[in-house]
Amino acid sequence: MELVSPAGNLPALRAAVAAGADAIYLGFRDQTNARAFPGLNFEGDELRMGLEHAHRHGRRVFLALNTYPDARRLPEWLAAVDRAAELGFDAIIAAEAAVLDHAARHHPRLPRHLSVQGSATSAPALRYAWERFGISRAVLPRVLSLQQVERLCAAAPVPIEVFGFGSLCIMVEGRCQLSSYVTGASPNRHGVCSPARFVEWREHDDGERSVRLNGVLVDRFAQDEPAGYPTVCKGRYQVLGEVFHALEEPTSLNTLALLPKLAAAGVVAIKIEGRQRGVAYVDAVVRTWREAIDRHRADPAGWAARPAWQAALAAQSEGRQTTLGPYHRAWH
């Protein structure tokens, strides 16, 4: 089972390599990827150094090209595919049909992974992408139960990758339009849920801080309360006189306890979310999962999730709490 780590910058990539990731995924410094934050991602010498460092240590590097261009901007995405092939990436992770088609026709030797943004949740959807675009792997959306994952692993024509840890979204990946109602910018087309130019933090006399997104109050934090990056879905709002997380409470997916079942199902790769997170996050999460995967490989029958592992992951959780998400659903 392969361990796939995020990297938002060169120090994070190096941390992922040192911590034992088998593969690292990253993005160009533009809107072709779904973490297009200012100052994040790779360009120029940093990109070449990152690729060289990973390859020198025997690790693979995947390029996230997982946003959806409109017709006017499509050439930029196609050019990114060409760059990926030229630079020697080991695979691209894409969702848009035109991008996958261009890669299949012009760079057939460049492996193509269907992104989680492709929202493929059924065997026929995966078979279509395999037959039409020659995908060699698919990343499943984080909305499926464990039973559904098991069925897809058995029926899919390509190997399956699932998210094991990281920020959890209430939306089906690839279909979120929520923030566009506030900012006019969709994460699927512009690469970020809350573009920085729309985010405004305010300090108040009582020590509290508030954050607005394009003028809309999203949340308010006490003086010593941790504050995450503001998104519409994870804000607190007044509903019927009560202020609470009306849509979703900040939390992280953590499937470590399900590792034996995912392995038995035939999942080929565990993916860590978090290209927007720092070096400490990458180091802690990758090291924990590396040890867990290695111990399971050595002794599947005697494997159990260690409390120290869970504590290390809980410390890196968004909102300081974790969940199995849809994996634990009894109905499916």
Q: What are phi and psi of 163, to 5 degrees?
A: -75, 135
Q: How many helices (H) and strands (E) does the chain have?
A: 11, 15
Q: What local confidence, expressed as pLDDT, does residue 249 receive?
A: 78
The pLDDT value given to residue 174:
64
Tell me how far apart the alpha carbons of residues 51 and 63 are, in angstroms, rounded to a whole number: 11
The residue among 26, 30, 29, 25 whose CA lies nearest residue 73 is 30
Q: Are 137 and 266 in contact (CB under 8 A)?
A: no
The first and second tokens of residue 194, run together, are 């809350």
If you ran DSSP here, which 8-state letter would residue 212 be given? E
Show me where the domains of the chain are located: 2-168+251-328, 187-244
**What are the 10-residue block averages of pLDDT along the chain, 332 residues in total?**
97 98 97 87 96 98 94 96 98 97 98 95 97 98 90 97 88 74 80 84 92 92 83 89 86 92 97 94 98 98 96 86 72 53
Tell me if the pTM is above 0.75: yes
266 touches 154 (CB < 8 A): yes
Rounding to the nearest 10 degrees, give the CA dihedral for residues 153, 158, 159, 161: -80
Q: Which CATH superfamily, name and number, covers 2-168+251-328?
A: Aldolase class I (3.20.20.70)
